């Protein structure tokens, strides 16, 4: 059975768009099928959709021009660096609204990426958790070692959770929801060029996104949201959560009370 969000989008009026023409680049189609399987459907569900339906779904999901054609705009979007958390969640695993049942959360940084001082990484993670703490009653405390609610680490390729990394570009990081078997676990691809600026991949932006998952947020379809699945650089010095981000995190934990 297809996830409800997939069925809902597939039965929108644009489902009558033109079919995919013959002679389409097979390499491109293989990439799209792998992408669709990885982030949206299982291999068992994938044959239930035609190639044209898969393309139209992706175009609708990412707010692109819905044509059903594998065009440059669509491929460019799918090839952008992104979070490894699937876009259509299996709600049988994480029903309802997953959240922590407490407001004081500890976090630890297990190891560090190449080319960054540990103190720099610690400052960045502090800023990222503070971004969510500034709009909720959540209080974050850094601790040492593995005994923490949120555990942050950097890994290369296969690292034991069935979500292998792929080196520079592609999948940047992933995190597990509070209701999962490994709540609060946040993994970053150690092969990325992590940075504090627009060069490479900005660690603050990705950390803020992944911490959103670790607090219970799914991906957002709002391109202004930090929880949008693909990476887009913003200046961390002027960064602010979107209205959508604030509304959703406050639905889980409430508003911050100022004295």
Residues with active-site annotation? 210
Question: What are φ and ψ of residue 64, in 5° steps?
Answer: -100, 175
Hey, how many other C-beta atoms are within 10 angstroms of the C-beta on 95? 9
Report, in angstroms and rounded to the nearest whole number, the Rg of the chain calculated over CA atoms: 19
Residue 127 tokens, joined: 């800023």
Residue 257 tokens, joined: 């009370």
The burial class, CB within 10 Å (0-12 / 13-18 / 19+), for 47 is exposed
- List all residues 6 or more positions away from 247 whose beta carbon is below 8 Å from its beta carbon: none
Is 132:254 a contact under the CB 8 Å cutoff? no
Hey, how many other C-beta atoms are within 10 angstroms of the C-beta on 93? 11
């Amino acid at each position: 059975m297809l996830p409800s969000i997939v069925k809902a989008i597939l039965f929108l009026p644009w489902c009558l768009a033109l079919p995919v023409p013959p002679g389409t680049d097979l390499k491109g189609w293989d990439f799209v099928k792998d992408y669709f399987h990885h982030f949206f459907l299982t291999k068992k569900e994938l044959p239930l959709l035609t190639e044209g339906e898969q393309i139209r779904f992706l175009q609708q999901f990412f707010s692109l021009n819905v044509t059903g054609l594998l065009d440059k705009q669509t491929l460019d979007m799918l090839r952008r660096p992104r979070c490894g958390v699937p876009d259509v969640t299996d709600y049988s695993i994480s029903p309802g609204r997953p959240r922590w049942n407490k407001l004081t959360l500890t976090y630890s940084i297990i190891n560090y990426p190449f080319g960054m001082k540990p103190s720099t990484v610690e400052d960045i993670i502090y800023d990222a958790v503070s971004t969510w703490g500034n709009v909720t009653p959540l209080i974050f405390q850094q601790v040492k070692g593995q005994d923490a609610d949120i555990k942050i680490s950097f890994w290369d390729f296969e690292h034991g959770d069935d979500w292998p990394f792929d080196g520079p570009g592609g999948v940047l990081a992933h995190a597990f929801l509070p209701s999962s078997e490994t709540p609060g676990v946040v993994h970053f691809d150690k092969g990325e060029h992590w940075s504090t600026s627009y060069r490479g991949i900005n660690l603050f932006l990705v950390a803020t996104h992944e911490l959103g998952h670790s607090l219970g947020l799914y991906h957002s379809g709002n391109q202004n949201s930090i929880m949008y699945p693909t990476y887009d650089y913003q200046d961390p010095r002027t960064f602010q959560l979107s209205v959508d981000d604030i509304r959703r995190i406050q639905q889980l934990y409430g508003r911050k009370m100022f004295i």
